[in-house]
Structure 1
Amino acid sequence: MITDLNSDNESSFSFWKNLFFIIVFFTITPITLGISLFSIFSLNKEEPIKLGTVTTNSGVRVYASLPKEFPTVLGVATASDARIELVRQYLERYNSPLVNYSSFIVEKADEYGIDFKLIPAIAQQESNLCKIIPPGTFNCWGWGIHSKGTLGFNSFENGIETVTAGLKKEYIDKGYVTPEEIMSKYTPLSNGSWAEGVNQFIEGME
């Protein structure tokens, strides 16, 4: 009789113990899973490219601001020679007439404090890297287009410097920092494809 009673007590204790562990398991597991998923999504969340931040000759992150901070088109600047080679290889890959101006592009980006990848990226978006431009204009960036025609430059060097300085003064310094923000002023009628293209071409140089 005593043995049966003890057996019943042990069975009851075992039941409640198992029930307790089951409750704890189904309470803790969803919470842990939720925290893990939240952490994964937080880590994978991408920030927009930024374009403005002063570049140095050694190698720091380069931001070329045009209205705000992108995707600003952020550019990573490694050693100066490495950046020049990066631009040269990119332009050469697409047989761009700008290939001989790779050093000048990086030099002017540093001088005006913008992302060195921005000038080639806009040229790619606007003119297939200078392969489709009005004859004799040296304007690969669609810069200064208006109802009376397209602004022309005296040379590619003149175009690179004018556009770089203009992006700094008229965009970055006024808060247009990301490709999306730049697009709103640079080509306001775009449906978003302009910024998507510029972002894609910037990433292609990274």
Structure 2
Amino acid sequence: MITAPFFQVKEAFAPIMPPVPKVDKRIVHLESFLAGYNSPLAAHADTFVATADQYGLDWRLLPAIAGTESTLGKRYIVGTYNPFGWGSGKIRFASWEHAIETVGQKLYEKYYLSGTRPLTIEQVGDIYAESPRWPRSVRFWIKKIGADQISALLQ
């Protein structure tokens, strides 16, 4: 029979702790920002960031478009889950997540793949919205989300 000193046995039965997941500060920041406006999109900050990462978009772009088109999901056609004004706001999505993922994918396919890089908000606005004020409004929301604050968090 093999015996081990007590301290070795004690360590052998020490609980194995799962790794602590790394918190994406963009998600925390965006959720807090959206909640501050009582936005129904606050609970979907993770979907905004994941979709942006998947398609190489600025993580603030989709929330900024939602800010411009529907005051962050507070003014939209009820039942459409369309905070982006996509299809003049009449296109229906199954959920907020479906809207975020679909519009992120379509922005990537329709604008980023066919446009020059880096694609500017003005270039997107020329096709996305008729209003010449649209790019200015999107930039306003991007700034409100807090580029300076979050860049400090990511360093």
Q: What TM-score range do you get, normalising by the shorter chain?
A: 0.7 to 0.9
Q: Report what 1:196 is aligned to.
A: 136
Amino acid at match of 1:198: V
Report the identity percentage.
39
Give the Cα separation in 1 of the matches to 2:53 and 2:82: 21
Q: Report what 1:54 is aligned to.
A: none
Correspondence for 2:34 among 91, 98, 105: 91
Deviation at 1:86, TM superposition (A): 1.7
Unmatched runs of 5 consecutive residues or more in structure 1: 1-78
Give the Cα separation in 1 of the matches to 2:46 and 2:125: 26
Give the Cα separation in 2 of the matches to 1:201 and 1:128: 10
Amino acid at match of 1:90: F
Correspondence for 1:174 among 114, 118, 121: 114
Larger Rg: 1
Amino acid at match of 1:101: H
Deviations 1:63-104 (A, max 9, x none): xxxxxxxxxxxxxxxx86111112112101111000000111
Correspondence for 2:65 among 122, 142, 148: 122
Deviation at 1:167, TM superposition (A): 0.6
Deviation at 1:106, TM superposition (A): 0.5
Give the Cα separation in 2 of the matches to 1:94 and 1:174: 34
- Specify whether residues 185 and 80 from structure 1 end up closer, same or farther in structure 2 by C-alpha distance, changes over 3 A only: farther
Q: How many residues align?
A: 123
Deviation at 1:144, TM superposition (A): 1.6
Deviation at 1:124, TM superposition (A): 0.3
Deviation at 1:113, TM superposition (A): 1.1
Matched, 1:161 2:104: no
- Specify whether residues 135 and 195 from structure 1 end up closer, same or farther in structure 2 by C-alpha distance, changes over 3 A only: same
Q: Which SS does the other structure have where 2:64 is aligned?
A: helix
Give the Cα separation in 2 of the matches to 1:129 and 1:203: 14
Amino acid at match of 2:67: Q
Give the Cα separation in 2 of the matches to 1:120 and 1:186: 15
Deviations 1:157-179 (A, max 9, x none): 10000000011110111216111
Unmatched runs of 5 consecutive residues or more in structure 2: 1-21, 148-155
Higher deviation after alignment, 155-164 or 84-93: 84-93
Give the Cα separation in 2 of the matches to 1:152 and 1:80: 32
Q: Which SS does the other structure have where 1:204 is aligned?
A: helix
Matched, 1:111 2:54: yes
4+ residue runs of structure 1 moved beyond 2 angstroms? none
Q: After superposition, where does 1:21-36 map in structure 2 within 5 Å?
A: none
Give the Cα separation in 1 of the matches to 2:53 and 2:61: 12
Q: Which SS does the other structure have where 1:161 is aligned?
A: helix
Deviations 1:131-150 (A, max 9, x none): 111110000001122xxx71
Q: Which SS does the other structure have where 1:115 is aligned?
A: coil
